[in-house]
């Protein structure tokens, strides 16, 4: 039986592939105020702006590639039962070869009905106002906006509670509820935190090893550490 390695990833790992995060620049995401493009209020106020914003993000995904950090995580499946819980809405983990990826905040390559949250479609091109579900309701980006529930949280908690090893990579641990997952790790399992500017872990009693490097630099080191433990 392979040991379970659970990994929480954030914007830092994708930033190395050229995907910008709003936390890089005072609440702006690719030049837009996040309240305008990542909230239900922003959607109600200006659907055209929101659709165009995510169309541009979707186009970008066709141009970027996984970096070494993504590839090391995929390679670790040879040795561990790896579960990736990601705050990222891109597909770079899957593109690198990871097979168990849970997206907490949605996915750019999916859309859903504004009326039925379970009506979800794969979508790799532009989404327009004329795109509707089978009942004529508008389709929207399949993104968890600020102020919305996180449907995948329950599954993420269950995965975390069964970890043998837990790693946090490329996140400042500022966005909840994702940042609180680490509090649900089993007692006494090792926790590793890879980030050049690590945040503070609250209410965590396990031993935490901080590796203050970018994902592409820290993950090869983490791989060596983990392989020495099995």
Of 143, 112, 108, 100, residue with least CA distance to 125: 108
With beta carbons less than 8 A apart as the criterion, state whether 107 and 81 touch.
Answer: no
- Which residues are within 8 A (CB) of 100 and not within 5 positions of it... i.e. 6 or more apart? 81, 82, 83, 84
Is 105 a catalytic site residue? Answer: yes
Distance CA 214, CA 124 (A): 29
- Per the residue annotation, which of 32, 93, 105, 142 is the catalytic one? 105
DSSP the chain: -PPEEEEEE-HHHHHTTT---GGGTTTEETTEEHHHHSSHHHHHH-HHHHHHHHHHHHHHHTT----HHHHHHHHGGGTSEEEEEES--SSHHHHHT-S-EEETTEEEEEEEESS-TT-EEE--S---TT-B-TTSPBEEEEE--TTS--TTHHHHHHHHHT-SEEEEES--S-STTGGGGGGGSPTT--EEEE-SS--PPPS--S-EEEE-S-HHHHHHHHHHHHHTT-
Question: Catalytic residue positions?
Answer: 105
């Amino acid at each position: 039986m392979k040991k379970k390695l659970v990994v929480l990833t954030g914007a830092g790992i994708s930033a190395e592939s050229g995907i910008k995060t709003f936390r890089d620049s005072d609440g702006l995401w690719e030049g837009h105020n996040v309240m305008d493009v990542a909230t239900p209020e922003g959607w109600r106020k200006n659907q055209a702006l929101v659709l165009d914003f995510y169309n541009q993000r979707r186009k970008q995904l066709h141009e970027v590639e996984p970096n070494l950090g993504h590839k090391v995580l995929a390679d670790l499946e040879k040795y561990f039962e790896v579960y990736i819980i990601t705050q990222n809405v891109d597909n770079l983990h899957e593109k690198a070869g990871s097979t168990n990826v849970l997206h907490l905040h949605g996915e750019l390559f999916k859309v859903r009905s504004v009326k039925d949250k379970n009506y979800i479609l794969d979508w790799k091109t532009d989404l327009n106002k004329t795109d509707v579900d089978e009942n004529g309701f508008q389709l929207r980006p399949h993104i968890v906006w600020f102020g919305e529930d996180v449907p995948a949280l329950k599954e993420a908690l269950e995965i975390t509670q069964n970890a043998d090893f837990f790693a946090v990579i490329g996140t400042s641990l500022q966005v909840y509820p994702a940042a609180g997952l680490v509090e649900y790790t089993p007692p006494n399992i090792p926790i590793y935190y890879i980030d050049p500017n690590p945040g503070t872990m609250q209410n965590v009693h396990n031993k935490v090893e901080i590796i203050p490097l970018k994902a592409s630099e820290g993950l090869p080191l983490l791989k060596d550490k983990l392989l020495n433990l099995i």
